[in-house]
Amino acid sequence: MTTTHLVLMILVAGACTFATRLFPFALFGQSKEVPKFVKYLGNVLPVAILGILIVYCLKDFEKGDINYIIPQIIAVVITALVHIWKKNTLLSIAVGTIGYMLLIHFVFV
């Protein structure tokens, strides 16, 4: 992969990210009221995404190794408790991930 190719990939990814951030402002603007359905999605989607991430992380549960299963369960509980306490999706995912990494590297070695 050449440097030009990498720079182009970064620029395209940045443009796509910028476009998705700009779209709601262009669609609703300051003068238009945000529809109730969009507000509803804003309230429901973070929890739904968290649920999808939990299912994805626990999909390999059948391995049966206790050193593999217990840290995952503890990390899920930590993530859920932080989310219930703070209601901040990014914080919940970060704390759960950090907790899981600490558990698998220092406790369940």
Closest CA to 74 of 90, 46, 97: 97
Quote the pLDDT of residue 40. Answer: 93
Quote the pLDDT of residue 103. Answer: 93
CA dist., res. 79 & res. 54, Å (int): 9
CA dist., res. 70 & res. 100, Å (int): 10
Low-confidence ranges of the chain (pLDDT < 50): none
Quote the pLDDT of residue 63. Answer: 65
Closest CA to 80 of 35, 50, 42: 50
Quote the pLDDT of residue 107. Answer: 92
Quote the pLDDT of residue 47. Answer: 82
CA dist., res. 75 & res. 62, Å (int): 17
Q: Do the Cβ atoms of 21 and 64 come closer than 8 Å?
A: no
Quote the pLDDT of residue 62. Answer: 67
